[in-house]
């Protein structure tokens, strides 16, 4: 079975200090890098997704304009294409990533399946071309883009696994509910082996 890893939105604006920083994001970048060091060669394909919003306009109502953001459908300005906030977190090792997809680009987008490569190919086509049947998902945020990506993967008929120790969410209650929704939808929520005495390259316990 051909297997892919999706690294969802590990971007500066979604980690501590960013426009929509999620608690635990910095540590997560380090943990995913350690996971990649241990397991990258077990995947047939590794994909990184990023929000990549337009600098002009409200991106289809995604960015709050005159009103305050409700943090459900409208958000502060974040992950504008070409800005530091849209770049991958510096502690994420991007070398193992084979394909990069950008989502948003003028419209609201949450799922990595709404993203396209630089050449315009969407994620579903990338996975189909590689005969991928199973996807493992890590990244940010459990209750938004991770959930949406998992749900779209299930709708595409893929075997979906979310590593609950390699995702972080905005709200703990909504994040727990999101994982339960993924289970109820036929997906799998597992833990990686990253807590089994693994040390990072600097020797500190993760």
103 belongs to the catalytic site: yes
| Known active-site residue 145 | yes
Catalytic entry in 51, 79, 93, 103: 103
User: In the numeric block, which tokens belong to residue 132?
Assistant: 């991928």
| Per-position DSSP letters for 144-160, written without gaps between them | IIIHHHHHHHHHTT-EE
Q: Enter the DSSP assignment of 116.
A: B
Q: Looking at the chain, how many residues does it have?
A: 206
Measure CA 186 to chain center: 20
Tally Cβ neighbours within 10 Å of residue 56.
8
Catalytic hit among 9, 93, 143, 152: 9
- Residue from 13, 136, 143, 145 carrying the catalytic annotation: 145
Which amino acids are annotated catalytic?
A: 9, 103, 145
């Amino acid at each position: 079975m051909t297997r892919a890893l999706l690294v969802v939105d590990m971007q500066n604006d979604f980690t501590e200090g960013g426009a929509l920083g999620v608690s635990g994001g910095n540590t997560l970048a380090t943990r995913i890098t350690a996971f990649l060091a241990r397991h990258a060669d077990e995947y047939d394909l590794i994909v990184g997704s990023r929000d990549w919003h337009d600098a002009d306009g409200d991106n289809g109502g995604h960015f709050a304009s005159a009103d305050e953001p409700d943090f459900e459908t409208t958000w502060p300005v974040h992950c504008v294409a070409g800005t530091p906030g849209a770049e991958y977190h510096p502690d994420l090792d991007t070398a193992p990533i084979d394909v990069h997809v950008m989502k948003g680009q003028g419209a609201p987008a949450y799922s990595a399946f709404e993203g396209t490569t630089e050449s315009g190919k969407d994620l579903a086509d990338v996975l189909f071309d590689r005969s991928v049947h199973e996807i493992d998902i890590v990244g940010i945020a459990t209750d938004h883009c991770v959930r949406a990506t998992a749900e779209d993967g299930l709708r595409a008929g893929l075997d979906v696994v979310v590593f609950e120790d390699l995702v972080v969410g905005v709200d703990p209650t909504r994040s727990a509910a999101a994982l339960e929704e993924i289970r109820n939808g036929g997906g799998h929520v597992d833990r990686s082996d990253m807590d089994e005495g693994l040390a990072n390259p600097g020797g500190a316990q993760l």
